[in-house]
Structure 1
């Protein structure tokens, strides 16, 4: 931070950047292909995860709706007669 001997690297206009070798270009191409394969695999996994999430959500929602519908059909309390009060 406070180093006064630091000198920035300045490129002169007369020098050219070194060109990449054929082996380096081939290696970069291989890495790009592997990266494309990895991205395609991740996209496929993401699609399957969305489908699984929707299937689980639909299952939970259908169970909820079935529960609400089943509770509304119960009529055992509708026929319940209140017991007569005993007078003393």
Structure 2
């Protein structure tokens, strides 16, 4: 079995635990983090709504295509002009 390890990148900052490290952060940093979190939540809500709209449009297009296909098959079955040629 193969195991992968993440390479330690010296350019990357360590993860922040707000419970332990809140004393190290300034008020401005905490406010900025709160603003960014709110913007991220808004973006997630917007993307979720867009995804549901995309699914609805896809289903409508699929039903439209199936309806046109079904109607064309039904209308071809009713044509009698080829039978009259015999």
Q: Does the pair score TM above 0.5?
A: yes
Q: Select the structure that is richer in helix.
A: 2
Aligned length: 66
Aligned residues: CA RMSD: 1.7
**TM-score, with structure 2 as normaliser:** 0.71
Aligned to 1:74: 79
**TM-score, with structure 1 as normaliser:** 0.69
1:37 to 14, 36, 42: 42
CA distance in 1, matches of 2:84, 2:53: 50
Superposed, 1:40-79 pairs within 5 Å as 40-79=45-84
Runs of at least 5 residues in structure 1 that lack an aligned partner in the other structure: 1-7, 9-16, 82-88
Whose Rg is larger?
1
CA distance in 2, matches of 1:67, 1:55: 18
